[in-house]
Amino acid sequence: MQRCTKHFIHTYAIRDWTREYPGQEEILSYLIRVAQKWGLYQYIRFNAEVEATAWNDSTHQWETSLTVLGGKAAERWASYTVTSDFVISAVGRLNVPRYPNIAGLNSFQGKIMHSARWDPNHDLEGKKVAMIGNGATAAQILPEIVDIAQSVTVFQRSPDWIIP
């Protein structure tokens, strides 16, 4: 899926992008290369959910409790605590999907995908697709599916301006 952001990523420079607005796969590949090149994986916790973060007045450090959700770490322990001098929350404001209150949504028999949990492997060929909303994410998804789906209907509250 193409992103509606130019190829630059803050802090790290790269010169071999294939296009001005690269897709998710290319951005992910770049981030993996950066993490490998600079040895960042040792500082990253995957498949873990933060349960709590609290300041310890005695040690003058943060204590962050995590629950392991899967992967190799789950074979060794179910939860653990990390102590640190600093805490940086980088989960983003939109990390938890918010579904609109639509009558009948829970009983709908078809596939429902939130843009925050987009499944690029789901086959939309020949399907009738309803897209709710017309923000930045819709502007990214729509061009990718319009020629694949049988039809795409966009439901919007108010029109947006899109400037190339």
User: Chain centroid to CA 131: how far?
Assistant: 18
Give tens-digit pLDDT for 99-116. Answer: 888 899 889 998 999 888
Q: CB neighbours (10 Å) of residue 48?
A: 19
Give tens-digit pLDDT for 36-60. Answer: 999 999 988 888 889 999 999 999 9
Q: What is the pLDDT of residue 164?
A: 59
Angle, vertex CA 116, rays to CA 115 and CA 119, nearest 5 = 65
> CA–CA separation, 15 vs 62, rounded Å?
38
Confidence of residue 8 (pLDDT cuts 50, 70, 90): low
Among 83, 82, 81, residue whose Cα is nearest residue 60? 83
pLDDT beyond 70 at 76: yes
Q: CB neighbours (10 Å) of residue 140?
A: 19
pLDDT beyond 90 at 25: no
Q: What is the pLDDT of residue 72?
A: 73
Give tens-digit pLDDT for 110-137. Answer: 899 988 888 888 999 999 999 998 887 7
